[in-house]
Structure 1
Amino acid sequence: MILRTLACLLFSLSLQAQDLAEGDIIFQSNISPQCKAIELATHSKYSHCGLIFKDNDAWYVLEAVQPVRVTAFAEWIARDGDRYVVKRLKGADSLLTPAVIGEMKTQGKKYLGRNYDSYFGWSDERIYCSELVWKIYKSVLDLEVGVLKPLRCYDLSHPLVKKTMAERYGARIPMDEKMVSPGNIFDSPLLETVVSR
């Protein structure tokens, strides 16, 4: 407990240098067994993402894990050895007004407690990380931060990807299900990198 408190204090002292802003999108890799399969299928080193917000003076990440929840920023980045990238919407100073950020938080609260979608479907009943980020930006700003692609458009050739899909779907793989991966969002031309560690 003391170490976590110290880590949070050190983080808060260095926060200004990191230049975070509400509505930023944060990316990391390798936080669960399925991450390697996602990275192989999407040709991206990033397999998880979330949205950064602030509550009073405390930064947190809204993320779709099991279940959708808010996680203290210092705890979030510690999962991958403090390696992460933060991207920001281009023109955020004028687009992400306090009212827009408030609406993004309101939309995010609607998903809290929802189960993680390990099948990567597009309904709101369950939700996965990049789907959460994409849907909040789409619903509030009508912007698509990442290209939706059917499953068949990803690289499904690696044995680990095949094994993971067989475990998830059996023989009924939803090849035409549209999805958005963390890598799709990471590569969006609407975003620019503001922190890379």
Structure 2
Amino acid sequence: MRGLLTLLLWLGAHAAGAKPRDALEGQLQTGDIVLHTSRSRQSQAIQAATHSPLSHVGLVEVTPRGAWVVEAVQPVQRVPFTKWRARGVRGHILVLRPRGLDGEHRQRAVEAAKRHLGKPYDWLFGWGDEAMYCSELVRKAYTLGAGLELGRMEPLGSLDIAGLRAQLRERYGRDIPLEQQLVTPASLALDEQLTVIHSDFPEVRGVSL
């Protein structure tokens, strides 16, 4: 009887100390696309250039050990979803899911993204595979893994970079490659092939999210 009481007390203490699971995490599926407002140094520049608070994006992988996010930072890595979410401003997050795409193809997209783990972050936003930036990783993962092209490729010069030329010259030098094609987190968020699963942002389909 004494042994049973000790076991019950231990189980109660263990349950009380266990970290409750994030309610949103239970809704996630492998292949979901998650976006938030990053606290990184370049986040404000991305927000200004795209007129959107969404400055970082990653891909979800759900496993028996919980949900993870594959993201292109320095370097490309895979982190627990709760940690990824906490890094965003105020913990706000947008979750999108490809419409009509089965789990197998979404898993293939994640596997395609994981092939880039360990690669450096691409500060020049190029399109080669030697380095990756966040929205490039997501677009390439779905193109190669599922045959689905997400977001819109657009020239750097088409973004609102008027107030960012000094920063861009520091990065590129005197000749800023205005014709260089890139994909932004905001462009991914506006893709009508994606369904909104969760959003802490007032709008997700307008020009200003």
**Which category describes the TM-score, using the shorter chain as reference length?**
0.7 to 0.9
Q: Residue 96 of structure 1 aligns with which residue?
A: 102
TM-score, normalization by structure 1: 0.87
Q: Residue 184 of structure 1 aligns with which residue?
A: 187
Q: Is the 8 A contact 2:35 2:57 kept in 1?
A: yes
TM-score, normalization by structure 2: 0.82
Give CA-to-partner distance per residue, 1:109-164, whole Å, 9 cap, x none.
21000000011001010000000000011112221110001111111112xx2222
Aligned residue among 86, 89, 93 for 1:84: 93
Q: Residue 156 of structure 1 aligns with which residue?
A: 161
Q: Residue 72 of structure 2 aligns with which residue?
A: 64
Q: Residue 44 of structure 1 aligns with which residue?
A: 52
Distance 1:139-1:39 versus aligned 2 partners, 3 A rule:
same
Q: Is the 8 A contact 1:64 1:127 kept in 2?
A: yes
List alignment gaps of at least 5 residues for structure 2.
Answer: 1-15, 201-209
Q: Does 1:20 align with 2:28?
A: yes
CA distance in 1, matches of 2:17, 2:181: 39
Q: Is the 8 A contact 1:67 1:115 kept in 2?
A: yes
CA distance in 1, matches of 2:83, 2:153: 30
- More relative contact order, 1 or 2 (CA 8 Å, 6+ apart): 1
Give CA-to-partner distance per residue, 1:30-89, whole Å, 9 cap, x none.
321101001111111100000011122310100000000001111001112321111111
Distance 1:114-1:123 versus aligned 2 partners, 3 A rule:
same
Q: Is the 8 A contact 2:59 2:110 kept in 1?
A: no
Q: Residue 130 of structure 1 aligns with which residue?
A: 135
SS at match of 2:162: coil
Q: CA RMSD in A?
A: 1.9
CA drift at 1:13: 5.2
Point out 4+ residue stretches in structure 1 off by more than 6 angstroms: none
Distance 1:176-1:35 versus aligned 2 partners, 3 A rule:
same
User: What letter corresponds to residue 66 of structure 1 in structure 2?
Assistant: Q
Distance 1:54-1:41 versus aligned 2 partners, 3 A rule:
same
Q: Residue 19 of structure 2 aligns with which residue?
A: 9
Q: Is the 8 A contact 2:52 2:186 kept in 1?
A: yes
Q: Is the 8 A contact 1:54 1:60 kept in 2?
A: yes
Distance 1:172-1:37 versus aligned 2 partners, 3 A rule:
same
